[in-house]
Amino acid sequence: MIDNRETNLDNEEITTDITVNSKVKFNAGKVAELLRKLEKILGVSLSIRSTTGEVVCKTDYCYGPCSYIRGTDIGCKRCRKVYSNIGKKMLMRKVPYACFCYCGFLIFAVPLNFRGEMIGLLVGSQIIPVSSDFSVSDFCDKYKRGLKALGLNNNKDFLESFKKVKTLDNNKQRLKFLYYLEEVSKHFESMALDEKTWNAFLREIKASIPEFGNF
């Protein structure tokens, strides 16, 4: 693969022709399989992160625009800073949390607890805070300065990847998704570490939330 590079105003070298998927080996095994199943229901990229924001398990199910952003050196550094800050806030608050990243995507995080202690975060990311009539060109116009610095403003594959991204329009949808994540986190320990099966989880969560997965 040809490694085309360009330099920004701070003389930082950035990579523009690959996604993070060519750099990172994503997790296999039981926990990753649970994330994949949940991602298919919710339509959102999920990850488990440490309290410092570092990835513990990630499948990159959607392979959307964030993969391209994290595929650049600058984008990767900025994303790590965002998740590090989320981890710090979660450690202090220990309650579900939502924010915007520097590129305008929504990030939702809930604490993962083990034996009463917070051991990490369950994160839903790469979500666009607009309605279903979302326009990629409008989004790119709004964040064109940042995308230009990453070398992605005219990348056709990057623009095409937006088709895979979940949109949550109003506060009701966002609160519902955060509630879903919080409920999943309560079951995750028993699924990942004990003997609760996926089918048992689905029966239990749909008994309490019949519309689980719908926004």
Better-scored residue on pLDDT, 143 or 8: 143
Given 3-state DSSP classes, what are the helix, strand and coil percentages for the chain, each rounded to the nearest 5? 45, 20, 35
Query: Cβ neighbours of residue 207 under 8 Å, at least 6 residues apart?
Result: none
Element spanning 99, H or E: strand 97-100
Radius of gyration of the CA atoms of the chain, in A: 18
What is the pLDDT averaged over residues 15-28? 67
Query: pLDDT tens digits, residue range 90-108?
Result: 989 888 989 999 888 999 9
Domain 20-208 sits in CATH at 3.30.450.20
pLDDT tens-place string over residues 147-205: 788 888 778 888 888 888 888 877 888 899 999 999 999 888 788 777 788 999 999 99
pTM exceeds 0.85, yes or no: no
Local confidence band at 131 (pLDDT 50, 70, 90 cut-offs): low
Q: Identify the pLDDT of residue 27.
A: 81
For 54-102, how does the pLDDT look when each residue is reduced to its tens digit (9 = 90+)?
999 998 887 888 988 888 888 889 999 999 999 999 989 888 989 999 8
CA atoms within 13 A on the CB side of 134: 20
**pLDDT (0 to 100) of residue 7:** 35
Residue 134 has pLDDT above 70, yes or no: no
Helix 30-42 to helix 171-193 angle, to the nearest 10 degrees?
160
Average pLDDT rounded to a whole number, residues 95-124: 90
* 132 contact partners, CB below 8 Å, separation of at least 6: 167, 169
Average pLDDT over residues 102-128: 90
Give me the pLDDT at residue 42, please: 92
The whole-number pLDDT of residue 89 equals 92
From CA 28, how far away is CA 96, in angstroms rounded?
26
